[in-house]
Amino acid sequence: MNHLTLNEYVARLSDVLNSINLLNWDASTGMPDAASRRRGLQVATLNTLAQQLLLSADFAAALAHDKKQPGLTLQQRNAHRALDEAIVWHKKIPAELMATQAHLTSVAEVVWREARAKNDFAAFKPYLEKIVELKRRVADAVGYENHPYEALMHEYEPGLKLPALQGLFEQLQSRLIPLARAVHAAPKPDNHFLFRHYPEAQQRQLSTHLATRIGYDFTRGKLDTTTHPFEISMSRDDVRITTRFNPHFINAGLFGTLHEAGHGMYEQNVDPALSDTALTLDLTGLYAVAGASFGLHESQSRLWENRIGRSLTFWQHHFSLLQSTFPGVLEDIDVGQFYRAINRSEPSAIRVEADELTYDFHIMLRVELEIGLIDGSVRVDDLPGLWSEKLQHYLGIPAPDDSHGVLQDIHWSKGMMGSFPTYTLGNVMGAQFMATALQSSPDIQKAINRADYQPLREWLTAQIYQHGRTFQPGELLQRVTGSALDAGPYLGYLEQKYRALYPSV
C-alpha cells in the first residue's frame, strides 16, 4: 500500500466491506448448506483485513494528510470525524476480545438454532452467559457515560444515551398501554380471508409491482426469497432485498417486500458522490451501509411499510389490483374490510408477527432484560421467568414456551445486544419525519392521495437519504425535524389510526 490518498484507502475498505455483504447475501440466498463453515471463515478473513486496513499506519498517515488540506467541506470534516472515532473505538477493543467474540458467536448461533428447535433454553444458557460476560468486557473497553448499555447501543445508534431511551419508553408506555387495552377489549375485525390461497408466482408479481410503485428501483436492485427477509447492498447500484412468500398468508410477502423496499430506497438514493467514502460505511461495525444508523434505517422501512403500505388511501388505489392478481380469491371482500384486517391488533408472543400497536412492547421487554443483563441486575437464569412476567405485564398473555419466548430472536446468539432499541426508534423517528414532511408541503399528502409517492420520496431523499452517514442520527433528526427524539407524533398517529379502526375505543 504505497502512498494512496485517503479516498483511495477508504474506497478499498469499501470494496472489502461490500464484498463481505455479498458473501453474506449469498449465504442466505443460494449457497449450499455444506459451505457454511468455510463461508464463516471467509467473512472473518475479510473482516480482519478491513480492520487491519483501517488501523494501519499508512491509513493514519493518509488521514492526517487529508485533514491538512485547505478549505475542507462539511462532508470532509464529518468523514474525518467518523474515521477518527472508529479508529479510537477499534483500538480500545483488544484483538483477543474481538477474536473471542467472533468465535463464540459463530458457535453460539448454531447452538441457539438447535436450542430453539428443541425448546431447550438450558442448552443455550451457558453460551448466552459467556456472551453477556463478553459484552460487558466490550462495554468496559470502549467506555460509556451513564451505563454500560450505552456502549453497546453505540454500535447501532451512535450517540444515544440511556436516559433519553428510558424517557422515550415511559412516554410511549403512558399512552400505548391504555390504548392497547382498549383496542384488545373491542370486537376484532374479521381477517380470515388473509389466509386464503395466494400462489407464490402472483404474490411475487404483485410485490414487485407495488415496490416499484413506491419507488424501489429494480434496475439497481433485485428481489430474492429467504427464510428471514433482509436488505443489503453491494454498492449504490446494487441494493438487494429479500422476502418470504407464504401461499396461505398474503401479509408476509406483501408487507415484507414493502418494508425491505423502504430500506432499499434509502440506500439507492444516497448522493452518488458519497459512494465508497467514509460516509457510506459503518466504520464501527465494519459494515457497508449508507443509512445513518439502524434506527434511521428502520424509520424508513417502517414508514414505507406502515405509514404508506398499511394506509387506507394506499389500498383504495391498489385493492383492485390485488383482487385481479388473485382471481376469485377476494371478490367477496371490499377495501374497507381488507384495510381493517391488515391492521387488526391482538396480543401475541412473537415479535416479528406483531402489529403496529403491540410491536413496541416486545422491544421494551427485550431492552429491559438487556439492560439488566449488562449491569448484572438480571441473571441469564432468570430470563425465562422474567420474560413471562413482562409479557403478561405488557400484553396480558403468557409466553407459550421458551422457543416462542426467550429463544425466539437470533440477536443475542450473534452478540447483537443493544440493537433492539433501534426498532422502536425507527417507529418514533419515522413519525417525526412524516409529520415534518406533511407540514412542509401540502402537495405531499395530496400526491399520496392519488397514489403518487414521488413527492414524499423526493422530500425524504433531500432531507435524509442523500446525506448517507454525513450526520450522526441525533444531528440528522434535529436538522430535519427541529426536534430531539419525541414520541408525540408517533403516539398521535397510532391513536388516530386505531380509534378510527376501532370506533368503540
Q: Does 26 bind a second copy (CB under 8 A)?
A: yes
List, as one string, the DSSP characters of 104-121.
HHHHHHHHHHHHHHHT-H
* 278 within 8 A of 82, measured Cβ to Cβ: yes
Nearest by Cα to 309 from 448, 427, 183, 193: 448
Q: Which residue, 55 or 186, is less far from a second copy as judged by CB?
A: 55
* 242 within 8 A of 28, measured Cβ to Cβ: yes
Residues 6+ apart with CB under 8 A from 365: 387, 390, 391, 394
Q: Which residue, 23 or 177, is less far from a second copy as judged by CB?
A: 23
Mask for 176-205, x = binds a second copy (CB under 8 A): ------------------------------
Q: Does 30 bind a second copy (CB under 8 A)?
A: yes
Q: Does 99 bind a second copy (CB under 8 A)?
A: no
The residues assigned a catalytic role are 260
* Contacts of the segment 13-17: beta carbons below 8 A, 24+ positions apart: 13/50, 13/53, 13/54, 13/281, 14/275, 14/276, 14/277, 14/280, 14/281, 14/288, 15/276, 16/46, 16/49, 16/50, 16/53, 17/46, 17/50, 17/281, 17/286, 17/287, 17/288
- Of 7, 208, 275, 284, the one binding a second copy by CB under 8 A: 275
- CA 463, distance to chain mean position in Å, is 19
CA 41, 30, 49 angle in degrees (round to 5)? 25
Q: Which residue, 99 or 410, is less far from a second copy as judged by CB?
A: 99
Q: Does 22 bind a second copy (CB under 8 A)?
A: yes
Grid coordinates representing 219? 434496475
The DSSP code for 278 is G
Mask for 400-439, x = binds a second copy (CB under 8 A): ----------------------------------------
Q: Does 16 bind a second copy (CB under 8 A)?
A: yes
Binding region for a second copy (CB under 8 A) out of 38-46, 119-127, 347-355, 378-386: 38-46
**At its nearest, how many Å lie between a second copy and the CB of residue 247?**
19
Task: Give the DSSP H/E element, type plus range, for residue 34.
Answer: none
**At its nearest, how many Å lie between a second copy and the CB of residue 208?**
14
Q: Does 219 bind a second copy (CB under 8 A)?
A: yes
**At its nearest, how many Å lie between a second copy and the CB of residue 32?**
5
The strand pair at 231-235 and 221-225 is best described as unpaired
Q: Which of residues 222-251 bind a second copy (CB under 8 A)?
A: 222, 234-238
Q: Does 52 bind a second copy (CB under 8 A)?
A: yes
**Positions in the binding site for a second copy (CB under 8 A):** 1, 11-12, 15-16, 18-19, 22-23, 26, 30-35, 37-39, 41-42, 45-46, 48-49, 52, 218-222, 234-238, 275-276
